[in-house]
């Protein structure tokens, strides 16, 4: 295998990973490994694929070979992904027979720093759903959701396939675009959600224009009173009051 052929296979494998076809990506990487063994970059991608495919023992064995051979932050990132997947595997093993909902995964498309301990992430629900009372795994740590949706129009939840905005109580440097944040379900049994919010207000990243998804349009109209509309209403009331007082003065004078 020539250098150009190996490079082409590697780029193809990266593209498959981006499309989340980890089976095909792993097959391509193993072709390179056969001809060019012990490549650090190839081994890193293989570890990632093995984690995503659930072959955690093979991923751990391969990751051990990378210790000291790649940058510390890259090793720590792979280690965190492996630990997170291991925790989830243990949770599923403890109760195999019980029916479980599809685990929620939020795919990050962009990250914005609000402060050293708060970050806004934009992306979409790849699977499951997320509620405002849930938490997320960020590099193996539980992170609290501070708000779903924008500040002036918070929502209760996001469903699979929907784009949205999440404010997290988390160091922004721990999150990168392309990260898959797994949902930790919170307490949902006592939530009383308004019907108009059941289908959630969805924010598309392009232009951040709100739209309502699902259900009958007649039941989806939700009126949000912003601070601006309240001010306009107050000014109208004051104007009406001034007119009434003026009319009263005119009437009194004519008497």
Q: What is the largest CA-CA distance in the chain?
A: 107
Q: How close are the terminal C-alpha atoms of the chain, in Å?
A: 107
**Using an 8 Å Cβ cutoff, are 48 and 107 in contact?**
no
Can you tell me the distance from the alpha carbon of 79 to that of 187, in angstroms, rounded to the nearest whole number? 29
Range(s) of the domain holding residue 169: 105-189+196-210
Structural domains of the chain, count: 2
- Averaged over 182-203, what is the pLDDT? 51
What is the CATH number for 49? Answer: 1.25.40.10
Per-residue pLDDT reduced to its tens digit, 41-72? 898 899 899 998 888 888 899 888 888 888 88
Predicted local confidence at residue 33, as pLDDT? 87
Can you tell me the distance from the alpha carbon of 125 to that of 144, in angstroms, rounded to the nearest whole number? 17
Q: Does the structure show a pLDDT above 90 at 3?
A: no
Reported pTM: 0.39
Q: Are residues 30 and 118 in the same domain?
A: no
Two structure tokens written together for 47: 């570890």
Q: How many CB atoms lie within 10 A of CB 128?
A: 17
**Using an 8 Å Cβ cutoff, are 154 and 148 in contact?**
yes
Provide the CB-side half-sphere exposure for 121 (13 A, CA).
29
In a domain, 10, yes or no: yes
Which of 87, 162, 100 shows the shortest CA–CA distance to 130? 162
How many residues does the structure list for the chain?
Answer: 255
In a domain, 206, yes or no: yes
Q: Are residues 151 and 78 in the same domain?
A: no
In a domain, 223, yes or no: no
3-state helix vs strand vs coil in the chain, percent to 5: 45, 20, 35
In a domain, 224, yes or no: no
Q: Does the structure show a pLDDT above 80 at 227?
A: no
Can you tell me the distance from the alpha carbon of 44 to that of 182, in angstroms, rounded to the nearest whole number? 21
Two structure tokens written together for 8: 């082409």
Q: Are residues 114 and 89 in the same domain?
A: no
Instruction: Say which range, 73-77, 78-82, 218-222, has the weakest mean pLDDT.
Output: 218-222
């Amino acid at each position: 295998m020539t250098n150009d052929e190996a490079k082409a296979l590697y780029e193809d494998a990266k593209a498959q990973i981006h499309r989340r076809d980890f089976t095909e990506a792993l097959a391509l990487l193993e072709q390179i490994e056969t001809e060019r063994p012990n490549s650090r970059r190839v081994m890193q991608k293989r570890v990632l694929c093995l984690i995503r495919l659930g072959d955690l023992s093979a991923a751990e064995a391969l990751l051990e070979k990378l210790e000291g051979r790649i940058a510390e932050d890259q090793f720590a990132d792979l280690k965190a992904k492996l630990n997170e997947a291991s925790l989830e595997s243990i949770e599923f093993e403890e109760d195999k027979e019980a029916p479980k909902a599809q685990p929620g995964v939020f795919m990050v498309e962009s990250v914005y720093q609000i402060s050293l301990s708060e970050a806004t992430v934009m992306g979409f629900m790849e699977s499951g759903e997320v509620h405002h009372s849930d938490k997320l795994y960020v590099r193996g740590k539980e992170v609290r959701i501070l708000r779903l949706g924008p500040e002036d129009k918070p929502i209760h939840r996001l469903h699979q396939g929907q784009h949205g905005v999440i404010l997290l109580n988390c160091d922004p440097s721990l999150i990168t675009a392309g990260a898959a944040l797994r949902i930790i379900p919170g307490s949902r049994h006592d939530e009383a959600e308004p019907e108009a919010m059941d289908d959630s207000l969805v924010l598309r990243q392009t232009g951040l224009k709100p739209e309502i998804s699902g259900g009958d349009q007649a039941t989806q109209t939700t009126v949000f009173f912003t601070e601006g509309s309240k001010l306009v209403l107050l000014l109208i009331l004051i104007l009406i009051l001034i007119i009434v007082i003026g009319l009263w003065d005119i009437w009194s004078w004519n008497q």
